[in-house]
Structure 1
Amino acid sequence: MAVRNKLQIPSVKLGNQGLEVSKLGFGCMTLSGMYNSPLPEEDGIAVIKYAFSKGITFFDTSDFYGPHTNEILLGKALKQLPREKIQIATKFGVKKIGFPQMEVNGSPEYVRSSCEASLKRLDVQYIDLYYQHRVDTKVPIEETVGELKKLVEEGKVKYIGLSDASPDTIRRAHAVHPITALQTEWSLWSREIEDEIIPLCRELGIGIVPYSPLGRGFLAGKGVVENLAANSLLDMHPRFQGENLDKNKAIFSRIEGLARKYQCTPAQLALAWVLQQGDDIVPIPGTTKIKNLENNIGSLKVKLTEEELKEISDAVPMEEVAGSISFQNMDHFHWKFANTPPKN
């Protein structure tokens, strides 16, 4: 039976290189749009400050969000918060979203110029966790991480991360400089990383930072009980379109039923499932609404047994999820699809 305890957001070690963060992070992306209209600056700052007041210290952004405006927003919020108690994660590498592939750059020169620009926008002396946002397959990962290593040695970056990288890329990167965290999509309806990526990260001592742990809001009811925003990019996401969305509504119905059983909301159930996959897991759900932020934080109260976690997993069979996982091709999924036999 699910147990609800008094809420306290613990600090956990992310990876084995020394970085400590709050067990629940906050993804800042949607404060600057993408799935909705950007919040006014003062409202975005208020959300960040509220998250910190509730015990969240790990804030995730990227130079691509906005672009640039999300880092500026977080930087302004930091002026009203104790910098030494906050862990900033930002990313470089995505220059433009296109189809079927996004334009990325992992050259050493781009790594350095991007870092310098992010430091200025954030108005900080160092970045706690600096990720390569997407792998540039045109540049050997050794060259990219080699430059990141120099930034660590110079004190501009404390820890290095990768996002949506393949097993081979992770191993090769880690051989140049220890990788602290892998950021990748992981939720009840996106579980492709479980067979090989997660075991590899645990073998190497790399923490796992799931983005979209609520399935871009679907597992909280977006697209089902709550309509998509008129200007949302989710209209283009395969899982939110037409027949796929109609089929996926059955999955949400099961999540709703289990949430009633465990006396929590669907979002809390889905997020609790991710949180309890291991001590090395730090999801970064984002939102523009304080009520949703409170709801997400409440997921930490929901304690599930191994049997209950399995029941929830079994309620969302991957073969029943309609639509591909993402908008874009990524290094990890190039690998995944290349190593998956075609279905008959």
Structure 2
Amino acid sequence: MKLLGQQGAEVSDLGLGCMGMSFAYGAADEGESVATLHRALDLGVTFLDTADIYGFGANEELIGRTIAGRRDDVFLATKFGITGDPLQPETRGFNGSPEYVRSAIDASLRRLGVDHVDLYYQHRMDPAVPVEETIGAMSELVSAGKVRYLGVSEASAETIRRAHSVHPLTAVQSEWSLFSRDIEESVLPVCRELGIGIVPYSPLGRGLLTGALPADLAADDYRRTLPRFAAPNLTANLALVAEIRAVRYDATPAQVALAWLLAQGNDVVPIPGTKRRRYLEDNVAALGISLAADDVRALAKLTPVGDRYADMSWVAGETAAL
């Protein structure tokens, strides 16, 4: 177990990202997803991560049904702030207004079937609402007992500092992996200065770092929109995965990639996503791998081809993708 942040949040060394069980990565399989969630808890992976936008509430409902009777075993995180219409899933908006904060948490609690969530993130910043107003409303949820700890996702260093000045943040969730290093320049240093835990999502590069992508992604697979998965970038990136495989630890590329991230510090708690038990078990095995310092440095030199998203404007403007 690890302490996340400085407010007393205790979480498993590895979390489970649940988005793909209901959203973005092809057809859902509820039976296998439920089995994967139970297997995670049995293995001690008790930090579950979801969001209200994943399947437009379906993912929260799935988790709620599954953890009924096991709530005390779970450190439950969800997110709000990205809005959308299930009839037009390609459209996205952002809402960080205090009124929306209050309505969003109540809706999430209903879907999850719980009286509180352990960690509540602002999923993306709303450029129309000062972060101080949003975090102020979120802090009221802590006082009301609906939320225990607060976080933000994909925020800039400046925004993190402003948010933390209103109410202490326990975690910042950002994409971080061998193939996504953006946060290391400014976000990571400010988190460590302020004592905020780091929760890397997509620590396996949305499956790219596993070396086991499907031969052909489903037509509705979100990764089809991402530059790193488009030809010829994909071919070049898979060649880099071969270099990870060459690091000899009797481990899969995914396990080596997770071990690299875990080696970055005790304040780092990755949340690799999967909807299948076999991949969950592979990911958990990474906890037993300790990379040599030379291998940590060598792996850090890998440079993928292509941006994380087709539109990287969120890096400056704090808007856009999932």
> What interval of TM-score do these two structures reach, taking the shorter chain for normalisation?
over 0.9
Report what 1:198 is aligned to: 188
1:22 correspondence with 2:12: yes
Report what 1:94 is aligned to: 82
1:289 aligned to which of 273, 276, 300: 276
1:214 correspondence with 2:204: yes
Report what 1:51 is aligned to: 40
User: CA 1:111 to 1:203, structure 2 compared with 1: closer, same or farther past 3 Å?
Assistant: same
2:258 aligned to which of 268, 271, 274: 271
Shift of 1:199: 0.9
Report what 2:243 is aligned to: 254
Shift of 1:84: 2.0
What is the identity, as a one-letter code, of the residue corresponding to 1:127? Answer: V
2:119 aligned to which of 112, 116, 129: 129
Report what 2:102 is aligned to: 112
1:301 correspondence with 2:288: yes
Identity of aligned residues (%): 47
What is the identity, as a one-letter code, of the residue corresponding to 1:88? Answer: L
Report what 2:149 is aligned to: 159
Report what 1:35 is aligned to: 25
1:175 aligned to which of 165, 179, 187: 165
Unaligned regions of 5+ residues in structure 2, if any? none
User: CA 1:254 to 1:306, structure 2 compared with 1: closer, same or farther past 3 Å?
Assistant: same
1:244 correspondence with 2:233: yes
User: CA 1:330 to 1:149, structure 2 compared with 1: closer, same or farther past 3 Å?
Assistant: farther
On the 8 A contact 1:101/1:329 being kept in 2, the answer is: no
CA distance in 1, matches of 2:47, 2:158: 28
CA distance in 2, matches of 1:80, 1:158: 20
Deviations 1:257-298 (A, max 9, x none): 12xx12110010001111111000000011121111110001
Deviates more, 1:240-249 or 1:194-203: 240-249
On the 8 A contact 1:111/1:147 being kept in 2, the answer is: yes
User: CA 1:99 to 1:195, structure 2 compared with 1: closer, same or farther past 3 Å?
Assistant: farther
Shift of 1:85: 2.6
Deviates more, 1:51-60 or 1:31-40: 31-40
Unaligned regions of 5+ residues in structure 1, if any? 1-10, 337-344
Report what 1:64 is aligned to: 53
Report what 1:146 is aligned to: 136
Q: Which runs of structure 2 are paired with 1:304-343 in the superposition (5 Å)?
A: 304-314=291-301, 316-317=302-303, 321-329=304-312, 331=314, 333-334=315-316
What is the identity, as a one-letter code, of the residue corresponding to 2:102? Answer: R
Q: What is the root-mean-square deviation in Å for CA atoms of aligned residues?
A: 1.9
Deviates more, 1:28-37 or 1:66-75: 28-37
On the 8 A contact 2:211/2:238 being kept in 1, the answer is: no
Runs of 4+ in structure 1 deviating by more than 6 angstroms, as ranges, are 97-101
Shift of 1:330: 6.2
What is the identity, as a one-letter code, of the residue corresponding to 1:46? Answer: A
